[in-house]
Amino acid sequence: MAVLEDIMKAIQKYNRIIIHRHQRPDPDAIGSQVGLAEILRASFPYKEIFVVGKDIPGFDWIGQMDEIDSGLYENALVIVTDTANSPRIDDRRFNEGEMLVKIDHHPNDEPFGDVIWVNDQAASCSEMIYGFYQHFADKLKLPKSAANALYAGIVGDTGRFLYPATTPKTMLVSGALMAAGAQASAISRREDEITMPLAKLSAYVYENLKLTKHNAAYVVLTDEILKKFGLSEAETSAVVPLPGKIHEVSAWVIFVQQADGHFRVRLRSKGPAINGLAKNHRGGGHPMASGAKAKDDDEMKDIIAQLDVLCQQWQEKE
């Protein structure tokens, strides 16, 4: 692929490379970011390689971020992984480098950057990073630290290989990462673990989950509820997959209240494509996993109604 050659030429050209990812990161955001950094550090030990963004304590086992001076962006290559649009990029200095590369597996709704490599058929951005390594295996090294980070990203974005985006290639890549030293069982166990407050919130989600006529499920997590369990909004990602465990549920939405009162909308599906719905409410994402925003109760009701229609249409086609 010509775009891979372009990315490699940029990596070889620049002696300073700064890697970004999206805000509110998940394992794939950090896994792809850190995995790429570890590959480049092992392969080009004379280059300066940095990863930037907010440190997330719950994911520090995948990798920790670097604090760098803005002056380091001068004459630097900036790579952004796992981020569909520029407003979501963590650390707003991403445009201060000399060259910008986008590597992502979401629909390319905003093609930012000088070089763009997007594959929306990939199960995760971490899978793409391994593909980049594999394409240049004669020039690149894959240390155990990179294998662990990339495996963590794949496990996160495939829901431990439960989501429909998981392909035979995903499994082959995962096996290759295990052969390279990724601690598969430890990583899966770590991503499956929750704290006691999250366990109690999980019980609340199941207790209060509602189902529409056509099997669209929804629950609202207000600021008051989160305070009751001693949790922050950022910690709620662990409960997002829970409704999908219920046989009757075709698609679901979890509304999480933000500090300014509006709601973050977490949409997931087993069949109906939901990214169009997300786009209609200031969001976007994958057909089976998207995010949006709702300003008030009326907009939340509108989203629930639209999700119910999508489930009905999907059921009629099945």
How confident is the model at residue 240, as a pLDDT? 94
Please, which pLDDT band fits residue 1 given cuts at 50, 70 and 90?
A: confident
Cα 231 versus chain centre, distance = 21
Query: What's the mean pLDDT in 239-245?
Result: 95
Query: What's the mean pLDDT in 275-288?
Result: 92
Judged against a pLDDT cut of 90, whether residue 233 lies above it is answered with no
Residue 97 token pair: 């480098």
How confident is the model at residue 129, as a pLDDT? 98
Pick from 25, 41, 27: which is nearest to 145 by CA? 41
Instruction: Report which secondary-structure segment, H or E, holds 235.
Output: none
Judged against a pLDDT cut of 80, whether residue 183 lies above it is answered with yes
β-sheet bridge partners, residue 210: 218
Q: How far apart are CA 84 and CA 81, in angstroms?
A: 9
Q: How far apart are CA 243 and CA 241, in angstroms?
A: 6
Q: Which domains does the chain have, with CATH numbers?
A: 2-192 (3.90.1640.10), 196-317 (3.10.310.30)
How confident is the model at residue 81, as a pLDDT? 98
Please, which pLDDT band fits residue 317 given cuts at 50, 70 and 90?
A: confident
Instruction: Find out whether 242 and 202 touch, Cβ atoms under 8 Å.
Output: yes
Please, which pLDDT band fits residue 285 given cuts at 50, 70 and 90?
A: confident
Query: What's the mean pLDDT in 278-295?
Result: 92
Judged against a pLDDT cut of 80, whether residue 159 lies above it is answered with yes
pLDDT over 90 percentage in the chain: 90
How confident is the model at residue 315, as a pLDDT? 93
β-sheet bridge partners, residue 221: 256
How confident is the model at residue 164, as a pLDDT? 85
Pick from 44, 83, 51: which is nearest to 67 by CA? 51
Q: How far apart are CA 140 and CA 216, in angstroms?
A: 46
Q: How far apart are CA 219 and CA 207, in angstroms?
A: 10
Q: How far apart are CA 314 and CA 68, in angstroms?
A: 48
Radius of gyration of the chain measured on its C-alpha atoms: 20
Pick from 17, 29, 136: which is nearest to 81 by CA? 29
Count the neighbouring beta carbons within 10 Å of the beta carbon of residue 158. Answer: 22
How confident is the model at residue 242, as a pLDDT? 95
Judged against a pLDDT cut of 80, whether residue 41 lies above it is answered with yes
Judged against a pLDDT cut of 90, whether residue 318 lies above it is answered with no
Residue 231 token pair: 């949790």
How confident is the model at residue 234, as a pLDDT? 81
Q: How far apart are CA 295 and CA 302, in angstroms?
A: 11
pLDDT over 70 percentage in the chain: 100
Verdict on whether the full-model pTM lies above 0.85: yes
Query: What's the mean pLDDT in 234-255?
Result: 94
How confident is the model at residue 56, as a pLDDT? 85
Instruction: Report which secondary-structure segment, H or E, holds 172.
Output: helix 168-179
How confident is the model at residue 286, as a pLDDT? 86
Query: What's the mean pLDDT in 28-37?
Result: 98
Query: What's the mean pLDDT in 130-144?
Result: 98
Pick from 124, 143, 127: which is nearest to 135 by CA? 127
The phi and psi torsions of 43 (rounded to 5 degrees) equal -85, -30
To the nearest whole number, what is the mean pLDDT of the chain?
95
Q: How far apart are CA 28 and CA 190, in angstroms?
A: 14
Q: Helix 144-157 to helix 184-192 angle, to the nearest 10 degrees?
A: 40
Pick from 237, 242, 231, 221: which is nearest to 197 by CA? 231
Pick from 305, 301, 229, 222: which is nearest to 264 by CA? 222
Instruction: Give per-residue pLDDT as tens, 78-130.
Output: 999 999 999 999 999 999 999 999 999 998 989 999 999 999 999 999 999 99
How confident is the model at residue 282, as a pLDDT? 92
How confident is the model at residue 22, as a pLDDT? 95
